[in-house]
Structure 1
Amino acid sequence: MGKMHFKAKGAAVFGFCAALHIGASAQSTSPNVLFIAVDDLRPEIGAYGSLEVKTPNIDELAAISYKFNRAYVSFPLCQPSRAAMLSGLRMANNRMPDGSKGSFDDQIKIQKTWPTLFKEADYWTATTGKVYHGNAPHSEKQVWDVNGGVWTHGNDWSEEIVSRIVDSGGRPEQLKQYLEGEYNLGALAWASVEGDDLLFTDGMVRRDFRDYIYNQRDKDKPFMMAIGFSRPHLPWVAPRKYFDMYPEDAGTIAPIPEGQSKALDPVLEVQVSNGGMWNEGLTDAEAKRAIRAYMASTSYVDAQIGKVIEYLKRTGTYDNTIIIFWGDHGYFLTDHGLFRKGIEYDKSLRHPLMIHLPGQKDTVEMDQVVESVDIYPTLIDLAGIEKPADVTLDGDSMVGIMNDSTAIWDNEAFVSGKKRTYGYVNQDIHFSFRGRDQSDVRLYNLKEDPGEWTDISDSPKYATWINSLRERVKDAWNLENQ
């Protein structure tokens, strides 16, 4: 993609970054790395300016991190987003970079993932929770010294949990599915449960991490651990105490601009399995309670992350650990009458991303447009690991702009979505086309219309620009050969 025109060797870059914060004495020690993935977390938490969602631990991490305000995923669904982040290659859903069909396992077998490079660099490695799309596939099992694989419990259903529910809601038929134990990770359902954090999946992930950091790791090696939290993915099931943090009417319905109608975009109706229903048929009161459940689930995850960072500090490993906090994509919470993700709008494409360097004491606001495929080269750059000659990356290391905000960076992202949607985002606009014939073109001015309600692609003054963008998108996604 060629976004970054300034390059530096990884070890030197880490030494430079470390010197900014902790001095030259730390430069001789390989840094530990902790990668934290959170499912379905939109960048509207305290750290990103939300006044509603209570995330004190994530906010505290953000206050001492590089906080990326315009980070985009290649495709706003769990599978392709995680495949792209791990492989460094842009991925569409169930498709390989050449356009052929492929599973998640196929996607990450294309080339060595960044966890593989850390293992080859003699790091002690461990993972637990939802980092992959499910448990680590067979091709990645050798990457990990310890592979927890708790994600199989991601539905957070058990007879004990159901017996402890004190309140619940959502789409009636999908709530019924959850209560009866049908495995439906997409159920628009929620439940407030009288129970301890460890009763649920993400508490188990935190428990695993504690065991890794205290008991299992090889203390003679630097570690690279990757942990993934399932909430706030549906169903929104969490301990009651996190629901109690919010009043009953805490959820805020997304506003509809004056002059716009409360009707789904006709193109979107064929992309979402909601029967063409605004907010999936929930009344405003029901939708607000569902949003409250999303916020409670987010606060539950925040508490687990607080414990994880506490364990780092108690074991004396915090001061030499790079922490990457990554949400796998954004999320709709009644925006455009939608819940869930997958539709190629900014609310779904944009995600939280933070990088904390050892010894960092303040926040650095990063307003450049970056992509999840930039994470791979950034991580190995920070750790001083050389990229193998047979590894090709679609992204570039962000270390240059972390060191120098004036360093050259193209400020653009190439994105995609359901129904063969492909697009382009920069700091000002979002362009996309849909369908095999690429005829359904959209163009939004993100500065004047951040909610993306007014398509300006029909304006003649943009015709030449649109044709140019179309060719760039086709090239980035290799569409000519598909």
Structure 2
Amino acid sequence: MKRPNILFIMADQMAAPLLPIHDPASPIKMPNLLGLAEAGVVFDSAYCNSPLCAPSRFTLVSGQLPSKIGAYDNAADFPGDVPTYAHYLRRMGYRTALSGKMHFCGPDQLHGYEERLTSDIYPADYGWAVNWDEPDVRASWYHNMSSVLQAGPCVRTNQLDFDEEVVFKARQYLYDHVRMSPEQPFCLTVSMTHPHDPYTIPEEFWNLYEDVEIPLPRHTLDQAEQDPHSQRLLKVIDLWDKPLPEDKIRDARRAYFGACSYIDSNIGKLLKTLEDCGLAEDTIIVFSGDHGDMLGERGLWYKMHWFEMAARVPFVVHAPGRFAAHRVSQSVSTMDLLPTLVELAGGTVEADLALDGRSLLPHLQGEGGHDEVLGEYMAEGTDSPLMMIRRGQWKFIYSEKDPLLLFDLANDPRELENLAAAAEHQELLAALLAEARARWDMPAIHQATLASQRRRRFVAEALTRGKLKSWDHQPMVDASQQYMRNHIDLDDLERRARYPQP
């Protein structure tokens, strides 16, 4: 039996709780994603394992927790000897390709992908390393609120330039596949950067929400009422003592909704290409993201915390010929992707290689499965590790420095009541705290994080001196093999380039 093709589509900073696949009252217009969800398996409680781009993505591709692979922040070095799903599938005979963002830092910019069709939108060097030695210094590259204060429609942006190339190159890859190597299965990852801030989108998508009531955040907290990590984040994003105008909050959310619709339009383009190329029947489609966006909820923006808006991600598997459409309520994470893709491709994970993720195949088959997410965060806004356990109805947020947080998401889905001090939950709290301390050697993780930061800051400064040698991926194009060339027979070229062939 021919192994299935795999198309993995990623969005960046897409908050699952707001999406119409999870909230029927959502004003966000995403008909293509809704179509995938209606015929697919929808995970209603899927999470990232670190609410920041690079740590989340390193964990997603490797199936290992951030502390195991040194994924501390957005300038962490991702070691080239860490196996990824691309390595696994490539060994199994798949063509593996990445079009778009994966925020790999360090000299290895492939990590098992046979091809990267574009460069990355973010730098590959160590310039964004966090500095716990100076926790009160706000780095110049931190987020600020310009994304909100300048929110509105646009004609063109850096991010639009990127995503247009990402989708074009991905579609071209599919055309080339069906013309040149249709017998070999592929795993194509298409990773776009929207709806990540800045909150601006072309009028075509801005105007989709012209007559739509844009909801403001449901619940905001005064900065004095915030937990200590949230207070640090307000300073990281330069929002401390700087209230935002309500009209700009609404504009930012409207642009974000438009950016979600833009992602959906690109999903539609990819689905049409699969159909046009006769690949739809044999291709498993996975849609997910790297983390969410607070979008003003609780008075917070962007990510970097364990609250639902920042940590929950969309996760849909569309393979109607293999799995009946249904919804999964148990909590899972993007760390589970590697073993899942390997099993979907007909392989097995190596027993003697490190792996924290667990296969979602039982969930896909409607047979139940695990109900647990572990999370780790060691990046900006912290000066000590901030961990999370999500299981059953509970979410436990653990730090040795900050007060503990405990939420009952079944009865308090908006996380308004911290139950850590409630007398009736002390036994549960003690058990979770004991589990966390047994699971994580916090002093060791703290010291490893500090040591990594110091090494990378030193190296980053040294590499700014003298001649620059960039690690950023440079996609190579052999123009001698493009279009019409005198060393290629014209009739043969035209025949091979036409699909379907006459």
Task: Name the TM tier (shorter chain).
Answer: 0.7 to 0.9
What is the DSSP-based 3-state SS (H/G/I as helix, E as strand, rest coil) of the residue aligned with 1:394?
A: coil
Amino acid of the residue matched to residue 151 of structure 2?
W
Residue 390 of structure 1, CA deviation: 3.5
Farther off after superposition, 440-449 or 305-314: 440-449
Partners of 1:219 and 1:187 in 2: how far apart?
47
Contact 1:193 1:237 in 2 (8 A): yes
Q: What is residue 495 of structure 2 aligned with on the other side?
A: none
Where in structure 1 are there 5+ consecutive unaligned residues? 1-27, 155-176
Residue 113 of structure 1, CA deviation: 0.6
Pairs within 5 Å for 1:304-453? 304-357=266-319, 359=321, 363-405=325-367, 407=368, 409-417=369-377, 418-419=381-382, 420-434=385-399, 437-438=400-401, 440-453=403-416
Residue 186 of structure 1, CA deviation: 8.1
CA distance 1:312–1:115, change in 2 (3 Å): same
What is the DSSP-based 3-state SS (H/G/I as helix, E as strand, rest coil) of the residue aligned with 1:201?
A: helix
Matched, 1:133 2:106: no
Partners of 2:122 and 2:52 in 1: how far apart?
19
Contact 1:236 1:293 in 2 (8 A): yes
Q: What is residue 145 of structure 1 aligned with on the other side?
A: 114
Q: What is residue 87 of structure 1 aligned with on the other side?
A: 62
CA distance 1:261–1:142, change in 2 (3 Å): closer
Contact 2:14 2:195 in 1 (8 A): yes
Matched, 1:192 2:147: no
Residue 37 of structure 1, CA deviation: 0.9
Q: What is residue 12 of structure 1 aligned with on the other side?
A: none
Partners of 1:255 and 1:184 in 2: how far apart?
23
Partners of 2:210 and 2:50 in 1: how far apart?
34
| Cα deviation 1:148-200 (Å, max 9, x = unaligned) | 2243389xxxxxxxxxxxxxxxxxxxxxx9xxxx9979852434234699963
- Provide the aligned C-alpha RMSD in A: 3.0
Query: Which of 140, 149, 165 is the equivalent residue of 1:204?
Result: 165
Contact 1:421 1:432 in 2 (8 A): yes
Query: Which of 45, 55, 65 is the equivalent residue of 2:30?
Result: 55
Residue 105 of structure 1, CA deviation: 6.0
CA distance 1:102–1:300, change in 2 (3 Å): closer
Contact 1:124 1:222 in 2 (8 A): yes
| Cα deviation 1:119-165 (Å, max 9, x = unaligned) | 111111221111x115x8643537333312243389xxxxxxxxxxx
Q: What is residue 238 of structure 1 aligned with on the other side?
A: 201
Matched, 1:282 2:251: no
Matched, 1:38 2:11: yes
CA distance 1:403–1:249, change in 2 (3 Å): closer
Where in structure 2 are there 5+ consecutive unaligned residues? 124-139, 446-502
How many corresponding residue pairs? Answer: 416
Contact 1:150 1:205 in 2 (8 A): no
| Cα deviation 1:83-116 (Å, max 9, x = unaligned) | 111110111xxxx328796876634535211111
| Cα deviation 1:320-376 (Å, max 9, x = unaligned) | 111110111121111101111111212211111011115368631111111111111
Matched, 1:120 2:85: no
TM-score (norm 2): 0.76
Residue 464 of structure 1, CA deviation: 2.5
Farther off after superposition, 296-305 or 42-51: 42-51
Contact 1:205 1:229 in 2 (8 A): yes
Farther off after superposition, 67-76 or 412-421: 412-421
Partners of 2:243 and 2:112 in 1: how far apart?
45
Partners of 2:159 and 2:255 in 1: how far apart?
18
What is the DSSP-based 3-state SS (H/G/I as helix, E as strand, rest coil) of the residue aligned with 2:121?
A: helix
Contact 2:70 2:76 in 1 (8 A): no
Q: What is residue 219 of structure 2 aligned with on the other side?
A: 256
TM-score (norm 1): 0.79
What is the DSSP-based 3-state SS (H/G/I as helix, E as strand, rest coil) of the residue aligned with 2:316?
A: strand
CA distance 1:421–1:428, change in 2 (3 Å): same
Partners of 1:457 and 1:444 in 2: how far apart?
8
Residue 235 of structure 1, CA deviation: 1.3
Amino acid of the residue matched to residue 280 of structure 2?
Y
Partners of 2:71 and 2:5 in 1: how far apart?
37
Partners of 2:29 and 2:222 in 1: how far apart?
32
Amino acid of the residue matched to residue 59 of structure 2?
A
Choose between structure 1 and 2: higher strand proportion: 1
Contact 1:56 1:302 in 2 (8 A): yes
What is the DSSP-based 3-state SS (H/G/I as helix, E as strand, rest coil) of the residue aligned with 1:271?
A: helix
Amino acid of the residue matched to residue 42 of structure 1?
A
CA distance 1:208–1:297, change in 2 (3 Å): same
Partners of 1:362 and 1:243 in 2: how far apart?
35
Q: What is residue 82 of structure 2 aligned with on the other side?
A: 111
CA distance 1:393–1:236, change in 2 (3 Å): same
Partners of 1:296 and 1:319 in 2: how far apart?
30
Residue 205 of structure 1, CA deviation: 1.1
Contact 1:124 1:218 in 2 (8 A): no
Farther off after superposition, 225-234 or 182-191: 182-191
What is the DSSP-based 3-state SS (H/G/I as helix, E as strand, rest coil) of the residue aligned with 1:440?
A: coil
Partners of 1:381 and 1:461 in 2: how far apart?
42
Contact 1:64 1:360 in 2 (8 A): no
Contact 1:328 1:351 in 2 (8 A): yes
Contact 1:74 1:414 in 2 (8 A): yes
| Cα deviation 1:421-470 (Å, max 9, x = unaligned) | 11211231211222xx3451111121222111211111233223212111
| Cα deviation 1:43-92 (Å, max 9, x = unaligned) | 1222122421011111111111110000111111111110111110111x
Query: Which of 216, 219, 226 is the equivalent residue of 1:265?
Result: 226
Amino acid of the residue matched to residue 200 of structure 1?
D
Amino acid of the residue matched to residue 308 of structure 1?
L
Contact 1:202 1:230 in 2 (8 A): yes
Q: What is residue 50 of structure 2 aligned with on the other side?
A: 75
